[in-house]
């Protein structure tokens, strides 16, 4: 018997006729926002892999902290100008995509690399702006549309 692999298909219901135009504009805006922030989520994933590999070879706690501080300064100098111009919506999407790419929420990453106090501080700032660093990515629930768009981008169709 021949064996054939069938790719997964996700079916999402279409908008109601009364809201089609408005929903289409929201969908197009979501595509624009994801295209803008998705490369940064990939950068975070790659940079995190590189940092974790380097940390394996560093033994002392002081050396680890010094290395993390230097990486943080490097990342801030390289990307701060671009990321500071993101909208709140783009920031929320970036937080979700970082969770998708690293399997860790932004809060967990900050807590692991900067400490609990720093993570709590940044969570408080995020909550002031109406977002949550502890937000998890749900590819089959609330974030199914984002997942479909990301898969289309990865396939080169968007």
Query: How far is Cα 67 from Cα 52, in angstroms, rounded to an integer?
Result: 11
Residue 33 lies in a domain: yes
Cut 0.85: pTM above it: no
**Residue 139, pLDDT above cutoff 90:** no
4 occurs within a structural domain: no
The CA distance from 108 to 112, in Å, is 6
Looking at the domain assignment, is residue 112 inside a domain? Answer: yes
Q: Are 106 and 133 in contact (CB under 8 A)?
A: yes
Asked whether residue 83 is domain-assigned, the answer is yes
The per-residue DSSP string of 64-123 comes to HHHHHHHHHHHHHHHHHHHHTT--HHHHHHHHHHHHHHHSS-HHHHHHHHH-HHHHHHHH
Structural domain total, the chain:
1
Per-residue b or e along 3-16, where b marks 16 or more CB atoms closer than 10 Å to that residue's CB: eeeeeeeeeeeeee
pLDDT digits (tens, 9 = 90+) for 48-68: 999 889 888 888 888 888 888
Cα 104 to Cα 106: distance, rounded to the nearest angstrom: 6
Looking at residue 96, its pLDDT comes to: 94
Q: Is residue 98 part of a domain?
A: yes
How many degrees, rounded to 5, is the angle at CA 135 between CA 68 and CA 112?
25
Q: What's the pLDDT tens digit per position in 89-117?
A: 999 999 999 999 999 999 999 898 888 99
Decide if 10 is inside a domain: no
Confidence of residue 46 (pLDDT cuts 50, 70, 90): very high
Domain range for 91 is 19-155
């Amino acid at each position: 018997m021949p064996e054939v692999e069938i790719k997964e298909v996700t079916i999402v219901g279409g908008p109601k006729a009364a809201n089609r135009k408005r929903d289409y504009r929201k969908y197009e805006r979501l595509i624009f926002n994801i295209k803008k922030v998705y490369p940064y989520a990939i950068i975070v994933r790659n940079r995190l892999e590189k940092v974790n590999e380097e940390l394996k070879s560093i033994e002392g706690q002081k050396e680890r902290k010094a290395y993390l501080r230097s990486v943080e300064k490097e990342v801030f100098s390289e990307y701060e100008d671009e990321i500071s111009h993101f909208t709140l919506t783009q920031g929320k999407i970036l937080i979700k995509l970082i969770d998708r790419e690293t399997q860790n929420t932004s809060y967990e990453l900050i807590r692991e690399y900067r400490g609990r106090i720093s993570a709590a501080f940044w969570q408080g700032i995020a909550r002031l702006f109406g977002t949550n660093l502890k937000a998890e990515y749900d590819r089959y629930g609330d974030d199914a549309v984002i997942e479909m768009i990301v898969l289309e981008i990865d396939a080169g169709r968007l």
